[in-house]
Structure 1
Amino acid sequence: MGSSDAAPPVRAVIFDYGGVLTTPTRDSIQEWLATDGIRPEDFSAALKEWLSRKAPQGTPVHKLETGEITAAEFNETLAARLRTVDGSPVDPTDLLGRLFARMRPEPAMLGLVRELRGNGLRTALLSNSWGNNYPWEHLDGLFEFAVISGEVAMRKPDPRIYHLMLDRLGLAARDAVFVDDGAPNIEAAQQLGMRTVLHTDPADTRARLAELLPAGTVLQEENR
């Protein structure tokens, strides 16, 4: 293959938040279900109906992520779908807060973002928000731009939100790598021409990014 066919060097890495820059979302969910005594099958059924590939447009999750309903409204809707193991109703008060209570920033991933910036790469955040309060005290200074779904009334995998991020960066899709833990979001980015990494754990993401980044980029900081 001639040099004219070579992929252009990566200029920016765009990260998802929950489950990528944090400890796994599923771990927090499992602890919440156990602590609150909620029947897992009820939550799984609601999530499948509202968030699966086959979910229709405008589900409660979609509306939450685009800011059409508040977290409090979603809490009421979700609680109505759930029961405890003894059949009791579930308290909707701060339900999402309880669901995400055990999710923490992942130091290894935040360190990776700092390394990328230290190597001259641009970094940005692209997140579907579930009414989250983002820990900006940990994130400030790590990203050039942050596009949060609830603030722009669009959500991944809608191509428009990727275009918005790329427009803010002033880059073409081929100039960026997108890191996310959701396969549909990764596939949407690929269809636009972005290079992608499906995140499973910090070590794997570090290794896969190292293969995509420009020659001379050194990623050596220990995961911690």
Structure 2
Amino acid sequence: MAIEAVIWDFGGVFTTSPFEAFRRFEARRGLPADFIRAVNATDPDTNAWALFERSEIDAAGFDAMFLEESTRLGHPLAGAEVLPLLSGDIRPRVVAALKACKARFKVGCITNNVAAGHGTGMSGSAEKAAAVAEIIGAFEVVLESSKVGVRKPDPRIYLMMCEALKVAPGSCVYLDDLGVNCKPAAALGMTAIKVSTEAQALEDLAAATGLAF
């Protein structure tokens, strides 16, 4: 089936991965490597991250619940200390690729985010939020987990995007920096691209779309 739409994750695709910020923070604090990711991966559909990204708890609730979860894993860490780490640096080449795709295909964004920070990309500053807003404005449809109450990897949010764009899953390319989020997209028939590096993502996107970036 011919490609009709390119659907994008935001954090870790248009911005550098928050995992890099997590690792720097862990090193500074003397925490085990990938400790924050380990907390996030424990009870992944019902933990503090999941509830916050579906707006089932607020920032204060996330702060307290994340502290409880991290304490159970041996290293007390308040959620409020983690939230500022979510804002990455924008990748201009990926933004340029979005613009090229928009000229040829429908484009949408599915992002797991929280009702905190400045704007959709959970930016750490109002200045960065303005840059994020410009990117977000290029999409025909944006689905934010904190607004729709469904988060990846729930297949429903991918189908919601397809319905909004009026395309079949098999005619879509999907990009995400998390394999767990790529799996349901692929299972629905999308061409899923796991973003490991900027160069790799653009190479794979070029192969999938026939465009040059």
TM-score where L is the length of structure 2:
0.82
Query: 1:186 and 1:62 mapped to 2: Cα distance?
Result: 17
Letter in 2 for 1:65: E
**Over aligned residues, Cα RMSD in angstroms?**
2.3
Residue 189 of structure 1 aligns to which amino acid in structure 2?
A
Give the 3-state SS of the residue equivalent to 1:50 in structure 2. coil
Give the drift of 1:72.
Answer: 2.6
| Aligned counterpart in structure 1 of residue 27 of structure 2, from 34, 40, 46 | 34
- Residue from 121, 135, 138 that aligns with 1:139: 135
Q: Distance in 2 between matches of 1:183 and 1:149?
A: 18
Q: Which amino acid aligns with 1:116?
A: C
Question: In the alignment, does 2:65 pair up with 1:77?
Answer: yes
- Consecutive unaligned residues of structure 1, counting only runs of 5 or more, are 1-7, 52-56
Counterpart in the other structure of 2:147: 151
Residues 161 and 89 from structure 1, CA distance in 2 versus in 1: closer, same or farther, beyond 3 angstroms? closer
Task: Give 2:181's aligned residue.
Answer: 185
- Shift of the alpha carbon at 1:45? 3.9
Aligned-pair identity in percent equals 25
- 1:50 and 1:60 in contact (8 A); partners too: no
Distance 1:218 1:46 in 2: 39
TM-score computed with the length of structure 1 as normaliser: 0.78
User: Aligned match of 1:110 in 85, 90, 95?
Assistant: 95
Structure 1 counterpart of 2:199, one-letter code: A
Pick the aligned partner of 2:56 from 64, 68, 89: 68
CA distance in 2, matches of 1:160, 1:128: 13
Contact 1:38–1:82 under 8 Å retained in 2: no
Q: Which amino acid aligns with 2:13?
A: V
- Write the distance in 1 (CA, Å) between the matches of 2:15 and 2:97: 12
Aligned pairs, how many?
198
Q: CA deviation at 1:143?
A: 0.7
Q: Secondary structure at the match of 2:153?
A: coil
Q: What are the ranges of 5 or more consecutive residues in structure 2 without an aligned counterpart?
A: 122-128
The alpha-carbon deviation at position 89 of structure 1 amounts to 5.7
Question: Partner of 1:100 in structure 2?
Answer: 86
Q: Distance in 1 between matches of 2:201 and 2:27?
A: 30
**Structure 2 counterpart of 1:96, which letter?**
V
Larger fraction in helix: 2
Q: Which residue of 2 aligns with 1:126?
A: 110
Aligned AA (1:147) = L
Structure 1 position 211 matched with structure 2 position 211 = no
* Matching of residue 47 in structure 1 with residue 35 in structure 2: no
Larger radius of gyration: 1
Secondary structure of the 2:43 match is helix
- C-alpha distance in 2 between matches for 1:182 and 1:44: 12
